[in-house]
Every structure is written in C-alpha cells, then in structure tokens.
Amino acid sequence: MRREIDGANILTALKLRAQGRTENVDPYFIAGGREVNKTRFQQIASGNGGLDGLNAFAEVADANDLSSAEAAVRTVLLKNAKKLYTSDALGIGVVIGFLKEKEREVALARLIARGKYYNVPTETLRREVGNGN
C-alpha cells in the first residue's frame, strides 16, 4: 500500500509540474508513502529534482515525458504486486495480483476505446498501449 501511495504522489507531482502548478501543492500530497515525503513531493512538483535517489521508482527519473513516467510507475507497482502474490500461493496476494492484472487490462481497453472514439492515430495508440506494460 505504501508503494501505491508513493506512485500516486509521484504521478500527481509530475502532472502538477506539467501543468505549471508548482506553488501550493501541499493539498495534493497523500501521506503514508515509503519513499516520497512532503519535501520530496514539493521538489518533484517544482522541478528541483526529487526523483534522484528513489529506490523503487528509479526508472521514473529516466522517463522523458509524462506518459513514460506513468508506464514506469505502473511497471513498478505491477512488479511489486507480482512479488506479493508469488510469495504465498494461499495468501491474499494472489487475489491482489489478479485484480492488478485485470485493472491493467481494463485500463488498456479503455485507452483503446477512447482513442478510437476520438480518432487518435493508430501509431499513437500503439505507442501508448506499448507503454501499458
């Protein structure tokens, strides 16, 4: 759960930065994460680093756009869920892992449906679905 909170905070901060909203970002911060505290959240949102030194989300620092960053966060969260459900075959992790996989499938199906509805070029859709790892 703490990693999910970190992922949500990273994506929120990156979206705020992309929108140019770098002041007064505290109301958007979710407390309870493992690696992203309020100071780091503010640094990411303002563009003053913050992504350096993240252990679990190191790939996000290498992302060159918001779409790639979202894909990197999703990949980390999916890997974390897989670790959880492969460690105990009779535990709740199996259910969580299954739900994570289904969530990803539904998100990709919605992406394709919206892309077709709004006449998004096929190549753009392929790139986005490819980022859906």
Sketch the domain layout of the chain as residue ranges. 2-130
Helices (H), the chain: 2-18, 38-46, 58-62, 66-87, 93-117, 122-130
Determine the Cα–Cα distance for residues 19 and 103; give it in Å rounded to an integer: 27
Closest CA to 50 of 1, 5, 6: 6
What pLDDT score was predicted for residue 131? 59
What band does 132 get if pLDDT is binned at 50, 70 and 90?
low
Please count the other Cβ atoms lying within 10 Å of the Cβ belonging to residue 78: 16
What pLDDT score was predicted for residue 39? 87
Tell me: pLDDT of 57 over 60: yes
The CA-based dihedral angle spanning residues 13, 60, 43, 41, taken in that order and rounded to the nearest 10 degrees:
50
